[in-house]
Amino acid sequence: MTQLSVRHLLGIKNLTENDIHTILDTANQFKEVINRPIKKVPSLRDITIANVFFENSTRTRLSFELAEKRLSADVVNFSASGSSVKKGETLLDTVNNILAMKVDMIVMRHSSPGAPHYLSSRIPANVVNAGDGTHEHPTQALLDAFSMREKLGTLVGKKVAIIGDILHSRVALSNIFCLQKLGAEVMVCGPTTLIPKYIGELGVKIGHNVREALQWCDVANVLRIQLERQQIKYFPSLREYALYFGINRQMLDELDREIVLMHPGPINRGVELSSDAADSQHSIILNQVENGVAVRMAVLYLLAQQ
């Protein structure tokens, strides 16, 4: 296992292609570990990690916590909802108070884009970005790439369509950076109102027809509609969105080849994906969740070596 070129995981944009391969190859070894009867290794036995979450999370938080415990790290969980943040404490003061208790690494989710970058320049601990606003979600992109590589063998020359609410998604941006660095072609597809204005400058194809996107791609990564981030109406109703941009089993069966179906979760069943599509043989959604633990173990392990 070789070293990373970075001290923090703030975004895929900061990683080299070699860094990504290092993380994915290390995750491969950790996936074997978590499938053993005894799932623990003492790799981070003397390391203390704080999970500092200023936004709601289920999968990411559980996945990080499980990864930390599988590596034998000491874990501290912080939730903004029951903390002094509610009393007006600043982000930096909150984290410095946690670090005063001798914490070695911070895993942070925050609603403001750039919050982990701000923090990493002001504290000595390693920082892992677990999602910052609508900016990036690097570990999700890494586990998506790991899941695709596991299913397809390689990503070089493969076509990946990211379908749904691209405008409000941090997963989309991280996936675009990651897939392009690994040699894949990327298309974004969704309603015109949910496609960022200048996204074409990132070198991605842009589409507005889901059937055409499915016909083009080898992998469809479907994103949910993020109603909690939408300040105005971007389409008439969820029913209309499901009608024009929802994916069902029949659409998948009508394709001339089998494609891989992914979703970062949580799924809004009946909106972006019907239940028969989400639970079909095309879907590797639960594999993504399992791979998330192995990928996050790899990230934490490699950063702890820095």
Q: At what angle do helices 170-181 and 138-152 cross, to 10 degrees?
A: 50
Cα–Cα dist 268/272, whole Å: 6
Residues 6+ apart with CB under 8 A from 136: 10, 11, 12, 13, 129, 170, 173, 174, 177
Do the annotations mark residue 265 as ligand-binding?
A: yes
Q: What is the 3-state secondary structure (H, E, C) of 90-135?
A: CHHHHHHHHHCCCCCEEEEEECCCCHHHHHHCCCCCEEEEEEECCC
Do the annotations mark residue 140 as ligand-binding?
A: yes
Do the annotations mark residue 137 as ligand-binding?
A: yes
Do the annotations mark residue 59 as ligand-binding?
A: yes
Overall size of the chain counted in residues: 306
Do the annotations mark residue 170 as ligand-binding?
A: yes
One-letter amino acid at 136 equals E
Do the annotations mark residue 102 as ligand-binding?
A: no
Q: Tell me 88's DSSP state.
A: T
Binding-site annotation: residue ranges for carbamoyl phosphate: 59-60, 109, 137, 140, 265-266
Which residues contribute to the annotated binding site?
59-60, 87, 109, 137, 140, 170, 224, 265-266
Q: Please report, in range form, the residues annotated as the binding site for L-aspartate.
A: 87, 170, 224
